[in-house]
Amino acid sequence: MSELYARTVAELSQELRAGSVSSVELTRLFLARTQQYQSELNAFITISADSALEQAARADERLRAGTAGPLTGVPIAHKDIFCTRGEKTSCGSRMLANFISPYDATVVERLRAAGAVMIGKTNMDEFAMGSSNENSFFGPVRNPWDLTRVPGGSSGGSAAAVAARLVPAATGTDTGGSIRQPAALCGVTGIKPTYGRVSRYGMIAFASSLDQGGVLAIDAEDAALLLAAMAGFDQRDSTSVELPVPPLHATLEQPLKGVKIGLLKEFFDEGLDRGIEQCIQTGLSVLQAQGAVVREVSLPNLPLSVPTYYVVAPAECSSNLARFDGVRYGYRCEQPLDLLDLYQRTRSEGFGAEVKRRIMVGTYVLSAGYYDAYYLRAQRVRALISADFERAFHEVDVLLGPTTPTTAFELGAKTSDPVTMYLNDIYTIGANLAGLPAMSIPCGFVDGLPAGMQLIGPHFSEASLLNIAHRYQRETDWHLRLPSRFT
Amino acid sequence: MSIKRSDIESIAHLARLALSEPEIPRYIDELSRILGLVEQLTRVDTSAVTPMAHPLPGQRQRLRADAVTETDQHQLYQRNAPQVSTGLYLVPRVIE
């Protein structure tokens, strides 16, 4: 049996119920690792030792009383985009560097109710805008597999924390790939559910028609455990879907015989690293050996995902971030001359470069005379991309391809040109535009760096994605590999 | 796509962002590159396509009952405010 810190949520849950370890002991263990590696990885913005130990003590009472659920007493971390009552919620920004949330996000509330112990808030690209975690006001996160490289973003802190086993699982959000891309680059399992599956209440908004909360974990089983606790209808989110969530854990073991997998032709382009392509082909054969049937599928409009996204997402961002005005909460500039100066300097000083760039692009594409040419056209192309997916799902059950074109790149390698950085999300954005659930699972290594395999399913097919991922992970051990400096 | 200095200045004003002099040429360059990427969208014929307004088909905007669900918590909320006085948010004088 592996070291306690390297166990999955499911395994830790068993130990807790068996009484072989207490939640307080586990919480101390993961807090100690988090603190030990903070200077190297910078994976956390806030470490909440005191409140974590209090929660752990309460979890131990529930465990003793026999009222514990599968997550009771298990330490986790939340991406700092989720509001946590009484705790700093910064969203990686100077704008909210001192913001103490007066309420809990629904995701936080539900995981708390399930008994999960929150040990802290993870680092992220400012307002979830970025693919490398270099846009955080609190400094970049480093990739546990190579400290000179990025962990991906925007949920880079959560991905690095799980990869280094500072926590067994963490929450994330995904607007254009922000769960799947860092999961791939750090060698962990990540799931972005269907749009509307997980409540956006208390999840700081970036692009409201694309944002979706999800999980980063060691394996698919753990992702299912957390997602089951987080997902489901919430009155307080106007786009929350009023559909019951099937028991995600119950179908993990279903055989894959006859499952139709579509290999996404457009993802195997000239930009894809040959080593990653090799990993995907090998991964595919693992699924075929279990009876899955593979065929190639083409989505001709999918290559337009990146340009579509870089109209829609900045437009929604510019609108959402208009609320930061230096009046009601958050940063305020010193000595404002008048109200206009207060707004302008507060926003210029409070937002970082990438956030301002997107606000500028968004304001431009929504401005008079340009709305039809940019925003409306992008929403039309979005409909075409969505229709491509729908057609594909008449032929196959799930789509498969790489999560990212390359493995983790070096810090600073892509910061000079925003467009180069944007192209990191070329394979992940499509699922957000169409509102589809998608996963990234570890499928090998290229020159010592993890590669991710992506699964995209029809709306509300989280259970099938988790089933395929779990069956894959039963036959492989890529997800159990640990970077040596963290063992 | 050519972005002019005057475009950057007017967008910055609409977005309520104060740009410093050296930032302006940088924004001209970066926005031009981003809009250059976006130009690809003109390659596809979208004349017969209905713009997508919601990522899930067939979803309708839900309405809640018109009932009071929130209690007054202004003191709690104003703890995060930069400047308050007697329950009011303070800003620089607007009317002389």
Residues of chain A contacting residue B94, judged by C-beta atoms under 8 Å apart: 338-339
- Backbone φ and ψ for B88, nearest 5 degrees, come out as -115, 145
Chain B residue with the nearest C-alpha to that of A97: B80
Question: Could you tell me the end-to-end alpha-carbon distance of chain B, in angstroms, rounded to an integer?
Answer: 44
> Of all residues in chain B, what percent carry a pLDDT higher than 90?
77
Q: What is the mean pLDDT of residues A120-136?
A: 97
| A180, amino acid identity | R
- Identify the bridge partners of residue A260 per DSSP, sorted by sequence position: A293
Residues of chain B contacting residue A363, judged by C-beta atoms under 8 Å apart: 11, 14-15
pLDDT at B61 over 90: no
Rounded distance, CA A405 to CA A408, Å?
10
Whether B41 and A381 lie within 8 Å, measured CB to CB: yes
Whether A304 and B44 lie within 8 Å, measured CB to CB: yes
Report all structural domains of chain A as residue ranges with CATH numbers, in order of start: 4-259+457-486 (3.90.1300.10)
Residues of chain A contacting residue B61, judged by C-beta atoms under 8 Å apart: 238
State the best of B5, B26, B45, B56 to mutate against chain A, taking most chain A CBs within 10 Å. Answer: B56
Residues of chain B contacting residue A389, judged by C-beta atoms under 8 Å apart: none
What pLDDT, in 10s, does the model give residues A328-358? 999 999 999 999 999 999 999 999 999 999 9
Looking at residue A134, its pLDDT comes to: 97
Residues of chain A contacting residue B46, judged by C-beta atoms under 8 Å apart: 377, 380-381, 384
Distance of CA B66 to the CA centre of its chain: 28
- Identify the bridge partners of residue A192 per DSSP, sorted by sequence position: A438
pLDDT at A429 over 60: yes
Rounded distance, CA A81 to CA A126, Å?
9
Looking at residue B59, its pLDDT comes to: 80
Cis amide leading into A154 (omega within 30): yes
Helix (H, G, I), strand (E, B), or coil: what is residue B61?
Answer: coil
Whether B55 and A435 lie within 8 Å, measured CB to CB: yes
- Residue A129 token pair: 């805008």
Number of Cβ pairs < 8 A linking chain A and chain B: 164
Catalytic positions of A: 79, 154, 178
> How close, in Å, is residue A74 to chain B by CA atoms?
30
Nearest to A313 by CA among A462, A131, A449: A131
Nearest to A421 by CA among A134, A142, A128, A148: A134
What pLDDT, in 10s, does the model give residues A271-322? 999 999 999 999 999 999 999 999 999 999 999 999 999 999 999 999 999 9
Q: What is the mean pLDDT of residues A83-89?
A: 97
**Tally of CB atoms within 10 A around B79:** 11
State the best of B16, B74, B75 to mutate against chain A, taking most chain A CBs within 10 Å. Answer: B16
Nearest to A153 by CA among A375, A325, A352, A394: A352
Residues of chain A contacting residue B39, judged by C-beta atoms under 8 Å apart: 307
Whether A364 and B79 lie within 8 Å, measured CB to CB: no
What pLDDT, in 10s, does the model give residues A203-215? 999 999 999 999 9
Whether A241 and B56 lie within 8 Å, measured CB to CB: yes
Whether B34 and A378 lie within 8 Å, measured CB to CB: no
Whether A332 and B55 lie within 8 Å, measured CB to CB: no
CATH topology of domain B5-43: Histone, subunit A (1.10.20)
* B61: nearest CB among A238, A307, A318: A238
Q: What is the mean pLDDT of residues A251-264?
A: 98
Chain A residue with the nearest C-alpha to that of B14: A363
Sheet containing A213-217, strands listed edge to edge, beginning at the edge strand earlier in sequence: A44-47, A117-122, A75-79, A169-173, A213-217, A189-192, A438-446, A449-456, A398-402, A260-264, A293-297
> How close, in Å, is residue A303 to chain B by CA atoms?
10
